[in-house]
Structure 1
Amino acid sequence: MKGSLIILGFFIVGCLMGRMDILPEWATNDALATYSLYTLLCLVGMSIGFDTRCWGILREMHLKVLLVPLFIIIGTFAGAAVACLLLGDMPLQHVLGVGAGFGYYSLSSIIITKMVNPVLGSVALLCNIIRELTTLLTAPLLLRVFGKLGPVAGGGATAMDTTLPIIVRFAGERYGIIAVFSGMFLTVAVPVLVTFIFS
């Protein structure tokens, strides 16, 4: 949780610096955001490629494990559609695009900022940080209400890293393996789905 709060702190500092207009010209350049996005995508690919444990899990688990991230995607989009009805003035495309971050705040918010606008990118960042913090704080409750896959679904893409310790602690090692696979699947799905929704 400390890491999430640090990221939230940097976001708030960035908002204040932008609001006070004290950033140098090169920091507000569109090309910088594009190259940051390319670098982030490369690092995500490298982290997945280097994680031999994930590839071993894929070989060992049955095809049923594929249903976990697929149902997380379906559930997230269903929840986003309900949220769209409650929000009223926000287009369904925007709500689905924000939901398609699956907790992966850094990548999804950069893509949305680049493809739509910085305001929606900031909304995506906050929504995905809130998803991660909610999973960290309510994992025992998610487990009690939704079963052992509850914290895995709540964590979304973060189930393979930041929320994994809390998932293993409350759901057990077996569900930790499922969480790593599901998080890896969703991490790969984020740039594909977000780009598809806004293209």
Structure 2
Amino acid sequence: MKSSLIIVSFFALGVFFGHFEIIPLSVVDNDISFYALCCLMFCVGLSLGNDSNTLRRFTRIDPRFYLLPVATIVGTLLGCAIIGFLLPGRSVIEFMAVGSGFGYYSLSSIFITEYKGVELGTIALLSNILREIMALLLAPLFVKYFGKLAPISVGGATTMDTTLPIILKFSGKEFAVISVFHGFILDLSVPVLVTIFSSI
């Protein structure tokens, strides 16, 4: 929750600086988002490569739970497609590009901004932050009404880091490895799916 508020604060600060032209656009317009994206991808690779036990722990999961990330991806994209048909102004593919961030707001918003512009990138940032906040605040309700896997699915790509403690608290410690596996697969899918939908 704290990290989400920090990200939103920096976003608001950027809007403020841009609106009042405190930092000239020419300073930040020279492919800076591309270099930030490269740095972010390096950090993701570093964190995954640094944990040698991750893949070993995944082999102990009940094979049925391998379908959970697939269900999250399909359900999210299907929901985005339905919303895309109902709301005017944006194409279904653009809604699916935003949804394929799966809560990974920092990475997906940079990708979408690069491909589709600042407006859709901002929508992606806010919608993916909202997904994480919903997982953090509504986890007990998801468990009560939809079962112990529900907060994991709602958390999307965040279930291996920021939403993991709240998932363990309400779903149970036995879901720790499943939650990390789910987040790991969703993390890997984000750059692939966002790029595909953004480039169509």
TM range (shorter): over 0.9
Aligned to 2:163: 163
Aligned to 2:72: 72
Residue correspondences, number: 199
Aligned to 1:85: 85
Structure 1 runs of 4+ with >6 Å offset: none
Aligned to 1:181: 181
State the AA in 2 paired with 1:96.
M
Where do 1:40-119 residues align within 5 Å? 40-119=40-119
* Root mean square deviation of aligned Cα: 1.3
**Bigger mean CA offset, 168-177 vs 46-55:** 46-55
Aligned to 2:120: 120
Identity %: 44
**Bigger mean CA offset, 140-149 vs 99-108:** 140-149
Deviation at 1:71, TM superposition (A): 0.3
Q: Deviations over 1:51-95 (max 9, x none)?
A: 234212222224322201000000101111121133122101110
**Bigger mean CA offset, 22-31 vs 157-166:** 22-31
Runs (5+) with no aligned partner, structure 2: none
Is residue 120 of structure 2 the alignment partner of residue 139 of structure 1? no
Q: Distance in 1 between matches of 2:175 and 2:145?
A: 16
Aligned to 2:191: 191
Runs (5+) with no aligned partner, structure 1: none
**Bigger mean CA offset, 125-134 vs 21-30:** 21-30
Indicate if the aligned counterparts of 2:136 and 2:163 stay in contact, CA closer than 8 A: yes
Indicate if the aligned counterparts of 1:77 and 1:99 stay in contact, CA closer than 8 A: yes
Indicate if the aligned counterparts of 1:26 and 1:32 stay in contact, CA closer than 8 A: no
Indicate if the aligned counterparts of 2:58 and 2:177 stay in contact, CA closer than 8 A: no
